[in-house]
Amino acid sequence: MTELRNVEADLSRFRARVLVAGIAVVVCFLLVLSRLVYLQVVRHDDLLEQAESNRTAIVPVVPNRGLILDRNGIVLASNYSAYTLEVTPSKVTDLEQTIDALSQVVEISQRDRRRFKKLREESKSFESLPLRTRLSDEEVAKFAGQHYRFPGVEIKARLFRSYPYGELASHVIGYIGRINQAEKEKLDDSDDAANYRGTDYIGKLGVEQSFEAQLHGITGVDSMETSAGGRAMRRLASNPATPGNTVKLALDIKLQHMVEELFGERRGALVALDPKTGEILAFVSKPTFDPNLFVEGIDQESWQALNESIDKPLLNRALRGTYPPGSTYKPFMALAALETGKRTPEQTIFDPGYFMFGGHRFRDDKEGGHGNVDMYHSIVASCDTYYYMLANDLGVDTIHDQLQRFGFGELTGIDIFGEVRGLLPSTAWKRKAYKKPEQQKWYAGETISLGIGQGYNNFTMLQLASAVGTLANNGVKMKPHLVKEVMDIITHAPTTTEHESVGEVIAKAANIAVIKHAMVGVNLEGTSSASFRGAPYTSGGKTGTAQVVQIKANEKYVASKMEERFRDHALFTAFAPAEDPKIALAIIVENAGFGAKYSAPIARRVIDYWLLNQYPSLEDIEAVKKGMAPAPIGKPRTVAELPWPPGAPVAPVAPVAPASAASAPAKTASVASPGR
């Protein structure tokens, strides 16, 4: 029996299905339309920015670092551009094999490999690291032809820092080095993070570090159109970088060079400054180091040589080296006695050659003693016994309070980082410094040696020079500074460092006059008179000898029988001209012995340079190095005659006219034997 279809029902189902399908199509169309509206209207700006971002790349433009000049405009730090061969370790499968293959294309030394290894240890694997620097055009061309063989390796053009005088004044100038992780984190948290995009280097020491903000400049940006593969096609827009500002120092680099020459291979420090302004004229720390070693990333071998050297060339002795001041402390002790009324200038003591206290014999440097000694002769002859007695009468806390006013044991506030405080002892200091009760107690016998600048006393040459400058400036203390001015690279307008006085006048004018008169006597008839014989100006000074190791009461100090590094330090402080001081200084020659023999002669040449425009003869320099020329020998040169840069041939110079009567040598005094 044949079943008949219900046509009407089939048509009804068909219409329903068509309707559903139609509705589905309409809904899908509406969804597509709404999505299109959303993308084209709502998110138009955002997507346009993304598209533009995919088409373009923002490339940071690293600014030229600012120049560093000395006070006369001599360039101490500049820049040069060079090609570098760089490797990104994360993009290289076999690093050692790649470097071996690269060495067949361009020369790669063992030093390059060691430096690269050290950089890898300090950096992340995705950072591009220089393997070879300063490639020649020929080497660049050779690599370009082989570039396809070395994924993860590329040639870059970079700016490098140059220190044209190498080791000269390296502790002052400092150096730049690659930004380490700690510095990167600090930059990321600062407001200056964007300014260091694309920058791999930062100031690490000295002026380079302390004036980083002025020297770095402002990073620019280039907007580049890129291909789908990310290759730059053309520059769309450019916002150029602003170079760093020029930093001009108060330092005289020729004076600095002279002092470093006079030190020779000996260790030590010298700080010379203008007492009226606080400008630092020379800031010497010996031995020095070559900052150029750090520019490209120092290799492990060179780093170990510097870091493990017994001479500590990386230590800035002028800023961070602390020493007992020895007898250079005595003028300040004498001034403290006048200020507190413990002594008068005329009051005398009898010196038998020792001072007995608590059963201990404190010896004077002169056997048999100096006899009756007043304040003037205590400084001129450097009588220890006078100051043993004075220290006992003053007491440690009075000494602390009086000497602290001159900056001993205090930061000077110099404009480079890293200064240390030194140590000016007091009873309060000892209670904080030690844990055991018996160690916290101050014993009266500990005060005695403070009077001659020994005991716990430890100060930097910067502090000592600042104190002498304050004394020379009649008690007005000026804040020392290395930077004279910063010149804006755009406007060329200089911002000059203000000459800043620190506090009020430190002592009475009459008392300061007594001390300065005695220090003039030191250079005229005292322990340093041999060095200042014939000087056409009047100067003040004080010699000093600081013990490195303690000598037992029944033993005698014999330098020749001691290991060189255990011998006494030689110190000297000075200012000139005495009537209107334009320079004050402090110097230490480590383990050299008498200040009169080794330190005062260098000070004499520094003052001659600054006041008379004189540079020592070659024979004089060699004699000073050996401690064999107290006063200058040979014919001094003018500063203009000095071959510059160092090592350049000497240019012929017209004969110098005879000195006028005004510059004739001052009266000379009898020569005292080298002493403290």
Q: Which residues participate in catalysis according to the annotation?
A: 327
CA dist., res. 171 & res. 414, Å (int): 14
d(CA 466, CA 480): 7
Residue 271 and residue 273: Cα distance in Å, rounded?
7
C-beta of residue 451 within 8 angstroms of C-beta of residue 395: no
Q: Which token pair is 613? A: 């425009």
The pairs formed by 217-220 with CB atoms below 8 angstroms and a separation of 24 or more are 217/63, 217/64, 217/65, 217/66, 217/241, 217/242, 217/243, 217/244, 217/245, 217/489, 218/63, 218/242, 219/60, 219/61, 219/62, 219/63, 219/194, 219/195, 220/60, 220/61, 220/63
Tokens of 164: 């044209």
Cβ atoms within 10 Å, residue 266:
18
DSSP H helical ranges for 197-252: 206-210, 212-216
List residues bridging with 271 in a β-sheet: 283, 586
Nearest to 80 by CA among 151, 134, 124: 134
Cis preceding-peptide flag for 240 (omega within 30 of 0): no
Instruction: Quote the CA–CA distance of 666 and 675 in Å, as a whole number.
Output: 23
Are 83 and 134 in contact by the 8 Å Cβ rule? The answer is: yes
Q: How many CB atoms lie within 10 A of CB 435?
A: 7
Place of tokens 């220190």: 163
Q: Are 176 and 65 in contact (CB under 8 A)?
A: yes
CB 241 within 8 A of CB 62: yes
- Say how many CA atoms lie within 13 Å of 46 toward its Cβ: 6
Task: Kindly list the distances between the CA atom of residue 341 and the CA atoms of 335, 338, 394, 398, 511, in Å, as whole numbers in the listed order.
Answer: 10, 5, 10, 12, 11
The structure tokens listed for 223 are 């907007």
Residues with Cβ within 8 Å of 213's Cβ and at least 6 positions away in sequence, in order, are: 192
Cα–Cα distance, 350 to 352 (Å, whole number)? 6
Max CA-CA distance within the chain?
Answer: 157
Name, in order, each residue with C-beta under 8 angstroms of 65's C-beta and a sequence gap of 6 or more.
77, 79, 159, 161, 176, 215, 216, 217, 243, 244
In terms of C-beta density within 10 A (0-12 exposed, 13-18 middle, 19 or more buried), how is residue 24 classed? exposed
**Distance separating alpha carbons of residues 218 and 196, to the nearest angstrom:** 9
Beta strands in 490-624 (DSSP E): 494-496, 540-546, 569-576, 583-589, 614-615
| Residue 40 DSSP symbol | I
For residue 140, give the amino acid letter: V
Structure tokens at 228: 């789908």
- Please tell me what DSSP assigns to residue 66: P
Q: Go through the chain and tell me how many residues it has.
A: 676
